[in-house]
Structure 1
Amino acid sequence: MLVSESNLNYELQDIYILDNGTFYFFDNFIISEVKEGVLFDWEMAQEIIAIAESYYGVGQKIAYISNRVHPYSLVPQDWLKFFKAKNFISAFAVVSYSQQERSNILLERLFFKSKIKKFFDLEEAVKWAISEQLKYDDRKTTA
């Protein structure tokens, strides 16, 4: 399900339409919908990081949901670059609609230091992301 087809539009704060996909910004999470056939690499990730830092502030952690409505490829080794440079993700979810995407998640888990939660329903992923962000915020305030 596309974000535009969901009931999430009332919570939507901003949309960034880039060459590689559309990124939906909410209060404390981002949903990405990468275009079909894109090879999502470190350079593209840097563009999203810069937008997120400009939008939420440098050092602010947020939840990230990859809504994989279109098939695309990732450069798994670039996860290592991402975490060496900046880690602004408090929780990471993938919404998968195909068997191939489910297999890709297994590969990504080899490179991603934190847990990747997989879902088959966008709205369930959003509920989880909000819950995880609240847990992160609680840990931050009690530390």
Structure 2
Amino acid sequence: MNTADPDKVIAAARSWLGTPYHDQASLKGVGCDCLGLARGVWRDVVGPEPFPIPPYSRDWGETGPREVLAEGARRMMPEIAPADAGPGALVLFRMTSRAIAKHVGILTGPGSFLHAYERLGVIEEPLTPSWRRRIAFAFLFPQR
């Protein structure tokens, strides 16, 4: 599967900067959560979303036998090793050690990423060691 140009992914993601946080939304400039940001970038870079997203909980400490978010991403995006993820990659974060991966970001440089964060909206910030060690999965956007 051919993958999208990382510069296009990053430009699409940055076009969401300043969008307010809104749980389970995906409207640029109006509101989105972290998954809504990824869905919007998908629409900008790849095209229509391939399937509807079912409702989901906001609980970052959620545990369980299935990595639902990673399984969904695997259905439509090539998976890569987190250590190989570079600018333009979609990364899934495990916010607590025994929880499933529930937070999504897009790498924008070797030391930065963009995500939607409660109370702050869509922001770009440094990929600090504490963020980097939480990356559990990484994927590439496919070409349109």
TM-score by length of 1: 0.33
With a CA cutoff of 8 Å and minimum separation of 6, indicate the structure with the bigger relative contact order. Answer: 2
Structure with the bigger percentage of helix: 1
TM-score by length of 2: 0.33
